[in-house]
Amino acid sequence: MSRYEYRESLKIAADDPSFYALIMAAMRKADTTNGYKLRTAWPDVWKELYARYHATGGLLEGERAP
């Protein structure tokens, strides 16, 4: 890691995203090895991200857009 990455983390944290939003974003950006680690650590988050990615508008069955 680098100082640049540390500074980037400060910007991300300033937006105050939820923990699971950060995990989903990390899953989207991860390379193969890190993606595997994230999916193993948070399998339910991965299942939801996968389902929402493949669902129209990210809406799961029974959900309506606001």
Is residue 4, in this structure, part of any structural domain at all?
Answer: no
Is residue 3, in this structure, part of any structural domain at all?
Answer: no
Is residue 8, in this structure, part of any structural domain at all?
Answer: no
How much is the pTM?
Answer: 0.87
Tell me the pLDDT tens digit for each residue of 43-65. 999 999 999 999 999 999 999 98
Q: Indicate the DSSP class of residue 8.
A: H
Note down the domain range covering 56: 16-66
The percentage of the chain sitting over the pLDDT mark of 70, rounded to a whole number, equals 100
Which of the four pLDDT bands, split at 50, 70 and 90, describes residue 66?
Answer: confident
Closest of 48, 19, 26, 6 to residue 36, by C-alpha = 26
**pLDDT recorded at residue 10:** 97
